[in-house]
Chains A and B, each alone.
Chain A
Amino acid sequence: MTSLRWFKQLADYLGGSVDTAPPGVSLQLTSSAWAIWWGALALLIVLFCGQASKFIYIDF
């Protein structure tokens, strides 16, 4: 598997859009790595929320 394809699969897995991790990555659903990942995402959300722009695709 090329490194670009591996990276894409990893990003899709971390993004929640695929259920299978790329080869070489084994994360249990209960792994603490997920807590760190969720925490990082939550931090981003808290830091940047409040800009209050609507979604572009909501009937325009």
Chain B
Amino acid sequence: MIFTTFSYFLFLIPTALLFRLSGPRLRPWICVASGVAFFVYFSVTELAGWIGAACVAIFVWESLISRLYTPGSRWCVFGVAASVSILVAFKYWNFLTGLVTTPAGINRWAWRGAFLPLGISFFTFEFVHYAIDRYKGRVDRGTLGEYLAFIFFFPTLVAGPIKRFQYFLANIREPSRDWPRDWHRGVTRILVGLAKKFAVADLLTSLTVHLNAADVAQATRPALLLWLLAYGGQIYFDFSAYSDIAIGSGRLFGLSIPENFDWPYARTNITEFWRRWHRSLTTWLMDYVFIPLGGSRARPARVYANVMATMLVSGLWHGAGLNFLVWGAWHGSLLVIHRMWREWQGARLAQAPTAVGRLSSWAVTFATVTLGWAFFAMDLSTAALYFRQLIFG
């Protein structure tokens, strides 16, 4: 029942209709029931089978422990630790134990049947957000049904956008009643998402499949550049299409889901790029990693370290591999360099840039982001081979 299947829409439309026709007390439970059905069906048919479906227990655990959260409570700290531990166990176990393998390269602690519960990277961040915001007293507790509706809301369950409970709670208590506008905009958004996925992202796969060691070793420079450009296009159209469908689906319910993209490739510096790329993740990282580390109210060296640490977390979150860590470091370095540049330029940046200046800034931003995709698309040794081929031919 993935977003691009007919069965998804056979499931979505009746559920959204039922939600809108129901009273306020029933609405959260419709989200819960549909979310459980979605999680179980998707896990059984497309992921780890019934073992994957059994991971619904993680949500049961979260729903129970979250009821103990009060401002300043240690349960919140415990909840964060538990959520992160579950994520580490499922997603990073083989990666971490693989770093300490025997000289023969055998990972004695490897988990052979490893699998990822559906959407674990995304729902963990929602769990952590709720625990921290409850600790700080920034969010209402909500009823059990409302919190379960938040974590089980199926349009965002698989890959976000990462929601915030404050906004979801207000939304589910008072969903939009402008049916014609919501359905019109929601259907438009879903159709655009599907068109982007099928007609652009999937089409680019014919180029991006070549980003493997065998093809890279024999490729010419123009081909290498074309494949990486295609990957940059594919990942944008793919994920923004996914987000369009999720946000459009939410709109059918009368609920507003956070936006994820705002023309990131049109931006003229790396900081602006990150404000517009996967925004729900970027704001999460700002609020729960960068600011707790000290944010930008510290000595420059400390701020640069905070930026780098945040982007390393972002890299690791994207995947359990050294290449993702390098991708995070690449973007962390770019953000640090941009900060240094701004500090060095100072007041001169207040002047309106010339057209040539803007175009150059855009070109540098686009080129650096595109080169960075090499670490995202390929493992570290293939990415190294890619750059060797690109530079030395």
Tell me the A residues contacting B by CB distance below 8 Å: 8, 14-17, 19, 29, 34, 37-38, 41-42, 44-45, 47-49, 51, 53-60
Contact = CB atoms under 8 A, between A and B. Distances in A.
A16 B248 contact: yes
A45 B198 contact: yes
B65 interface: no
Given A41-B192, A55-B159, A57-B242, A29 B198 contact: no
A42 B191 contact: yes
Interface of B: 2-4, 91, 116, 118-121, 158-160, 180-181, 184-192, 194-195, 197-199, 201-203, 205, 234-235, 238-239, 241-242, 244, 247-248, 251, 259, 263, 266, 318-319
Contacts of B248: 16
A38 B191 contact: yes
Contacts of A59: 91, 116, 118-121, 158-159
Contacts of B4: 49, 55
Contacts of B190: 16
Contacts of A41: 191-192, 194-195
A45 B159 contact: no
A34 B184 contact: yes
Given A17-B189, A51-B205, A54-B2, A29 B238 contact: no
B188 A38 contact: yes
B319 A55 contact: no
Given A44-B195, A49-B4, A16 B158 contact: no
28 contacts: A8-B266, A16-B187, A16-B244, A17-B244, A17-B259, A29-B184, A34-B184, A38-B187, A41-B194, A45-B194, A45-B195, A45-B199, A48-B198, A48-B203, A49-B194, A51-B205, A53-B202, A54-B2, A55-B3, A55-B159, A55-B241, A56-B239, A57-B238, A58-B119, A59-B91, A59-B116, A59-B121, A60-B318
Contacts of A34: 184, 188
A10 to B, nearest CB: 13
A20 B198 CA distance: 27
Nearest to B319: A60
Contacts, number: 97
B181 A15 contact: no
Contacts of B91: 59
Contacts of B194: 41, 45, 49
A15 B158 contact: no
Given A45-B194, A56-B235, A8 B263 contact: yes
Given A56-B234, A57-B238, 12 more contacts: A15-B192, A16-B244, A19-B185, A49-B198, A55-B3, A56-B238, A57-B159, A57-B239, A59-B91, A59-B116, A59-B119, A60-B319
B199 A44 contact: yes
Contacts of B318: 60
Nearest to A40: B195
Contacts of A19: 181, 185
Contacts of A45: 191, 194-195, 198-199
